[in-house]
Amino acid sequence: MEQFIKLYPHHLMVLQHDEETYMGELAFSVEQYGLLIDNFEFKLHLLQPNEHNEHWRFACEDPTQLRVPNFLMFLKSIEHYVFLNLKFSPQHAVLDEVVPKRSFLSFKKPKPQPFRLYFQNLFFDTNTSKLKCKID
């Protein structure tokens, strides 16, 4: 029996937690049989490339907590799209968002601001396990 479930990613928010650690939050909606449920948010760790992996990766504690069929495949598809197709770098994105404020009284390091990467016209079809572009 087919599930007829589609996942619509909205945005990936990235925030630098400390010098080497980046956290993320993936916002998305779920559609099943035409019923759309909005505003799911899923926390992620963003892992930097290393000797075993050439690109950034997502890591999460328990992807099965949402009980959405093929959610792990959805996450891997978004990871591939963001880091390989778009060549997105959390380091560069977060650095670009930091705007130093000039002040004579303080020399505080500016607080890192979250960066949001928005997805438009994308959805993940759980029946085919593929990320697709929505045609209007």
In a 10 Å sphere around its CB, with 0-12 CB exposed, 13-18 middle and 19+ buried, how is residue 9 labelled?
A: buried
In one-letter notation, the amino acid at residue 123 is F
Write the pLDDT tens digit of every residue in 86-99.
999 998 887 765 55
Q: State the residue for tokens 């990871």.
A: 79
Residue ranges per structural domain of the chain:
5-99+108-133
pTM of the shown model: 0.81
Percent of residues, the chain, with pLDDT higher than 90: 50
- Distances in Å between the Cα of 76 and the Cα atoms of 9, 56, 59, 69, 133 are 13, 11, 10, 13, 16
Write the pLDDT tens digit of every residue in 93-117.
877 655 555 555 555 666 668 999 9
CA dihedral for 55, 58, 64, 68, sign (positive or negative): negative
Six-digit token string for 15: 């925030």
